[in-house]
Amino acid sequence: MQRAGLAAFEYMQALWPNAKRILVVAGNGNNAGDAYVLACHAKQASFCVKVMCEDPSRLLSSDAGVWQAKWFELEGQTECFDSIAAESFDLVVDGLLGTGLKGNVTPNFLQMIRHINQADLPVLSLDVPSGLESDTGIGLPESVHSAATISFIAPKLGLLTGVGKHYCGQLKIASLGVDQTIHSLVGPRAQLVDWNTLLSLPARPIHANKGTFGKLVCIGGGKGMAGAIRLSAESALRSGAGMVRVICDASSVLHVASGRPELMVDGGNLLAALDWCSVVVLGPGLGKSDWAKQTFKSVIEYLVHKPKALVLDADGLNLLGDDFASYAELLSQLPSLVLTPHPGEAARLLNTSIRAVEADRYASCLQISQKYQAACILKGAGSIICDPVEPLAWVCNGGNPGMAVAGMGDLLSGICGAMLAQGLDPAEAAVYSVCAHAEAGDRVAKETGQRGILPTDLLLTIQTIINE
């Protein structure tokens, strides 16, 4: 607790060096103890500090009580929960509720959370934003909206994905010197990954030819949706696939082939393309027309008899979700399957609502993975990857809101197909493709800003990244 409070005080100073008037909001448990440690350090450093709590006369127990007593010894100011006069403070430190929160926040504490959010002041949260369920990142029912959160010992699952990633703001992990000890006693539930944490892809053999790196067929591009399959196929080329072929609606052939002669594009000959390829990407721009439904059915039935790696995306996922009963047994026989749903597609795959998916993204991703016996990428802020035989989930620590634009998912499906074509197993392909995609988005955003990024802006950056 002493280390946590000191780490938070130092982090506060680093982020807001000019903030000298500090309001500390403390609860009744260990999170309050961390807050009192910070308050004591701040007061001893000549900051103007005030503590708000539920009952200033209530004595806390255990270590939290020790630091509460220390605060009183320093003649610290303590007041009951109330509205916050924003003009009186530079910063709020949120030590109201921590990881022990179970069930909904009590009315008194909920009111204080609302006061904090209404104060229009920067907030530093200790361990997790108060009111946030630490495993899922969902407010119970509301949570503090923090400018920054310092989380202790290890990152909490709910801070890494979905709305929890939004509410925690800038996230810092303070190991408190016990990280190795705790890891030897408690196994992790997830692994935080980004491109820089991954091993480089293997060097290419000097005697390689185009067939060495796989033959990929991308199937989609229904009438009026040529762009989606073009993005998927071109990103596969930029990600190192040896040869890429596109099967699309006849009306889309010219649009897909234009300006990219390296792509082999065909409005028919589906079975010939499936015979030729080693990996299939099915779904970008596929649509739900009769052509799309027949194409989907033909591909799945073919792969049952001649198994090959498959990436299902976009309308491939929607068609699967619409008629899972017809395809469940067929899919279970595929040796390599990767599904890449966004929350809406995930909801259809699980026959539930988007709200239910987002309420526990980890559980949703794992359920899809196990139901379909596939590596699953649940896209969004903090994309999650699960594999049915791997106890750990992977959470991507990259990406940015500038990537929230039509076509980004099509790029990802192509990258994933290319990784499979180059010999990665489904889980590896999913992790490497998500991290490369996120890293490319971050590098482009750093150069241009987030607004207005196009999927095609990432293509050359993807090529650079996978060669590092």
pLDDT in tens, 267-323: 989 999 999 999 999 999 999 999 999 999 999 999 989 999 999 999 999 999 888
- Token code pair at residue 106: 């009590």
Q: What pLDDT, on the 0 to 100 scale, is given for residue 295?
A: 97
| Separation between Cα atoms, residue 25 and residue 119, nearest integer Å | 13
- Token code pair at residue 318: 């929607």
Phi, psi of 66 (to 5 degrees): -60, -45
Tokens 């300006």 map to which residue? 259
Phi, psi of 181 (to 5 degrees): -65, -50
* CA-wise closest residue to 32 among 74, 4, 73: 4
Q: What pLDDT, on the 0 to 100 scale, is given for residue 201?
A: 95
| Separation between Cα atoms, residue 4 and residue 67, nearest integer Å | 12
Query: Chain centroid to CA 153: how far?
Result: 21
Strand, helix or coil for residue 409: helix
Q: Which residues contact 10 (CB under 8 A, 6 or more apart)?
A: none
Q: Could you tell me where the beta strands, DSSP code E, fall in 72-169?
A: 77-80, 91-95, 123-126, 148-152
Q: What pLDDT, on the 0 to 100 scale, is given for residue 74?
A: 96
| Separation between Cα atoms, residue 427 and residue 337, nearest integer Å | 9
Intervals of the chain under pLDDT 70: 179
Q: How many CB atoms lie within 10 A of CB 140?
A: 17
Q: How far is CA 164 from CA 101, 161, 379, in A?
A: 15, 6, 15
| Separation between Cα atoms, residue 376 and residue 430, nearest integer Å | 8
| Separation between Cα atoms, residue 330 and residue 327, nearest integer Å | 5
Q: How far is CA 335 from CA 260, 310, 370, in A?
A: 32, 9, 14
Contact 191, 395 (CB under 8 A): yes
Task: Reply yes or no: is the peptide bond before residue 261 cis, omega within 30 of 0.
Answer: no
Q: Which residues contact 240 (CB under 8 A, 6 or more apart)?
A: 201, 213, 418, 421, 422, 466
Q: What is the pTM of this model?
A: 0.94
- Token code pair at residue 456: 């095609």
Reported as a single tens digit per residue, the pLDDT across 150-207 is: 999 889 999 999 999 999 999 999 989 886 777 777 778 899 999 999 999 999 999 9
Tokens 């009026």 map to which residue? 224
